[in-house]
Amino acid sequence: MYPSLDDVAKAISKNADSKIQVSGAKALHLLGLTTQVPAQTVYLTDGQSKNIQIGQTILTLKHASSKVMAGAGSKAGVVLQAIRHLGKNHINDRIFDQLSQQLNRHDKQMLRRIVRFAPYWTKPALDKLLAA
């Protein structure tokens, strides 16, 4: 029996003294914005890119910039990844409502701290989330 890919990714990042952040596709799934489970397990990292085979599955760690890594390990970071992944033309009221229901006061405070790292086009959606 193999450990979960999430546990492996966390252990690798801890060992390498790096951060990890879920990919946009995984963020959508974690937040309940899609029922589709990503076919590939991809984590963003501020460390080195690498592929790790565990049984028949490959865990991909993909290097990302500090802007993309903002909020790594927090729900606010997951929300930001999901919004980035959706793109500016796919943020709608249903998505907004689902996200706003999942953010508590602490999550919103963290989102306020990292909003400056978000792409410019995300500002209206993030402002709306923070005001809710």
pLDDT per residue rounded down to tens, the chain (132 residues)? 778 888 999 999 999 999 999 999 999 999 999 999 898 999 999 999 999 998 888 999 999 999 999 999 999 999 999 999 999 899 888 888 899 899 999 999 999 999 999 999 988 888 888 888
**CA–CA gap between residue 6 and residue 54 (Å, rounded):** 12
**CA–CA gap between residue 23 and residue 93 (Å, rounded):** 23
Contacts (Cβ under 8 Å, ≥6 apart) of 54: 2, 3, 5, 8
Return the residue matching tokens 């999901």.
82
How many Cα atoms within 13 Å fall on the side-chain side of residue 36? 7
Q: Cβ distance 102 to 69 under 8 Å? A: no
**CA–CA gap between residue 34 and residue 30 (Å, rounded):** 8
Backbone phi and psi for residue 39, each to the nearest 5 degrees, phi listed first: -70, -30
pTM tops 0.85 = yes
Which tokens sit at 11? Answer: 């252990």
